[in-house]
């Protein structure tokens, strides 16, 4: 294993320590394992909280800040946060108007966020949950009943976060988050496996000339192994998979993300974005906003994912609303 770390045990707290050192706008509580806004909860605003296993940085802690998340609760690498930790995050985010949990659809996360929602309710914090399940690759998977939650999480957190910042109430923020998820589909391809600090070895074996098509963000198997092919064909296949699951009529406007899985350089991501944009243009889809870069990663995995969100009212205005977080920042 070749990683910058001191020990597998200290990996997460040390990543959080670095995050805290780099971003004074964040309040990182290494004991409670929560990352919140340094300025505290905003009175009267719906809080937006997300979390899940670590190893997907910048997700979720990198999206804490004005116009997006109020708090994040990172679990150990590829391991759900525990209910008490989630409740602490909810408390840090609660401005008296309730809290929305954005939960990627993995069995452990779903269970722990459900328990946390009940515990939070006992403490007088109203919680609504938005489940993200955008990955069309497989119907069920290693850690999931139903589809996995991946790239759409960024779209849900941005748009729901902007709605909360704009004063929407708990039900409205949650409904909007669910609509964004329903409008979004993702598909990923891995060139290499990722290595967790604890295991020290790649999570699966992939021959030098093969790729995993439909891979999950923990290295879960996809639809098939196949020989490495030109990026144009891989991109077209990813677009096909996404559009096959939810056909979009010509003329549809979309927000599109080409997301690196951690070990793929930006140059390749731009190349893939060009191919994805061309494949979508062929189908009459107009990309109105985009993200190209590492947003939902899988440690050091080489690979990328494509997420397409069909724009509805009022997604675009909320997408464009100011955001000020470590990983997404515009308008302020």
Cβ-based nearer residue to its own copies, 149 or 263:
263
In the chain, the largest separation of any two C-alpha atoms, in whole Å, equals: 55
Applying CB under 8 A, the span of 37-45, 57-65, 81-89, 103-111 interacting with its own copies comes to 57-65
List, as one string, the DSSP characters of 23-47: -TTEEEETTTTEEEETT-PPTTSPE
**Which of residues 174, 277, 308, 309 is near its own copies by CB under 8 A?**
277
Contact by Cβ (8 Å): 49, 71: yes
The count of chain residues that interact with its own copies, using the rule CB under 8 A, is 57
263 binds its own copies (CB under 8 A): yes
Going by C-alpha positions, the residue among 284, 271, 289 that lies closest to residue 234 is 271
Binding mask 7-46 for its own copies (x = CB under 8 A): x---x--xxxxxxxxx------------------------
Question: Which residues in 252-263 are b (16+ Cβ under 10 Å) and which e?
Answer: bbbbbbbbbbbb
Of residues 233-252, those binding its own copies (CB under 8 A): 234
Distances (CA, A) of 43 to 16, 100, 165: 26, 15, 11
Residue 142 contacts its own copies per CB under 8 A: no
Binder of its own copies out of 37, 275, 318, 325 (CB under 8 A): 275
Task: Tell me which of 8, 32, 271, 316 binds its own copies, using CB under 8 A.
Answer: 271
What is the torsion angle, in degrees rounded to the nearest 10, for the CA atoms of residue 56, residue 323, residue 180 and residue 258?
Answer: -50
8 CB neighbour count, 10 Å cutoff? 16
What string marks each residue from 92 to 131 as x (binds its own copies by CB under 8 A) or -?
A: ----------------------------------------
Cα(245)–Cα(184) distance, rounded to whole angstroms?
A: 10
Given 23, 60, 218, 240, the catalytic residue: 218
93-114 burial code (b ≥16 CB/10 A, e <16):
bbbebbbbbbbbbbebbbebbb
**Residue of 44, 124, 230, 247 interacting with its own copies (CB under 8 A):** 230
Helix boundaries (H) for the chain: 11-22, 83-93, 107-122, 152-165, 170-182, 231-245, 266-282, 315-320
Query: How many residues does the structure list for the chain?
Result: 332
Told to judge if 56 belongs to the known catalytic residues of this protein, a careful annotator would answer yes
Site for its own copies in 187-216 (CB under 8 A): 191-192, 208, 211
Active site residue 240: no
Tell me: cis bond preceding 314? Omega within 30 of 0 counts: yes
CB of 296 to its own copies, least distance (A): 11
Considering the rule CB under 8 A, would residue 227 count as an interface residue with its own copies? no
For position 272 contacting its own copies by CB under 8 A, the verdict is yes
Q: Does 145 bind its own copies (CB under 8 A)?
A: no
Among the candidate windows 117-125, 129-137, 179-187, 259-267, which touches its own copies by CB under 8 A?
259-267
Output the six-digit token pair for 178. 């669910």
Among 39, 111, 121, 266, binds its own copies (CB under 8 A): 266
Nearest approach in angstroms of CB 82 to its own copies is: 20
Closest to 307 (Cα-Cα) out of 144, 196, 199, 150? 150
Strand partners, 128: 100
DSSP letter at 123 equals T
- Residues marked as catalytic: 56, 218
Residues forming contacts to its own copies in the complex (CB under 8 A) are 2-7, 11, 14-22, 54-55, 57-58, 62, 191-192, 208, 211, 228, 230-232, 234, 262-275, 277-278, 287, 290, 292, 294, 297, 299-300, 302, 304, 329-330
């Amino acid at each position: 294993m070749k990683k910058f770390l001191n020990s597998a045990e200290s990996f997460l707290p040390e990543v959080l320590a670095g995050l805290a050192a780099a971003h004074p706008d964040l309040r990182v509580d290494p004991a409670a394992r929560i990352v919140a806004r340094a300025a505290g909860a905003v009175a009267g605003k719906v809080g937006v909280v997300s979390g899940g296993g670590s190893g997907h940085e910048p997700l979720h802690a990198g999206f804490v800040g004005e116009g997006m998340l109020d708090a994040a609760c990172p679990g150990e690498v590829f391991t759900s946060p525990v209910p008490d930790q989630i409740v602490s995050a909810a408390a840090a985010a609660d401005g008296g108007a309730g809290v929305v949990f954005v939960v990627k659809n993995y069995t452990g996360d779903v269970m722990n966020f459900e328990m946390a929602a009940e515990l939070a309710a006992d403490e007088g914090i109203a919680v609504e949950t938005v489940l993200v399940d955008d990955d069309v690759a497989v119907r069920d998977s290693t850690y999931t009943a139903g589809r996995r939650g991946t790239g759409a999480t960024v779209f849900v957190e941005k748009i729901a976060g902007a709605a909360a910042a704009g004063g929407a109430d708990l039900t409205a923020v949650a409904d909007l988050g669910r609509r964004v998820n329903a409008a979004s589909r993702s598909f990923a391809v891995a060139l290499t496996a990722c290595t967790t600090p604890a295991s020290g070895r790649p999570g699966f074996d992939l021959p030098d000339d093969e790729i995993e098509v439909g891979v999950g963000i923990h290295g879960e198997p996809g639809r098939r192994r196949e020989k490495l092919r030109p990026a144009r064909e891989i991109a077209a296949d990813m677009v096909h998979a996404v559009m096959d699951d939810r056909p979009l009529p010509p003329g549809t406007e979309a927000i599109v993300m080409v997301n690196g899985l951690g070990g793929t350089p930006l140059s390749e991501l731009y190349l893939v974005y060009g191919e994805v944009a061309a494949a979508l243009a062929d189908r009459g889809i107009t990309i109105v906003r985009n993200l190209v870069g590492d947003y939902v990663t899988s440690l050091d995995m080489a690979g990328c994912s494509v997420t397409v969100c069909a724009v509805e009212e009022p997604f675009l205005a909320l997408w464009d609303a100011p955001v000020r977080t470590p990983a997404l920042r515009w308008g302020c």
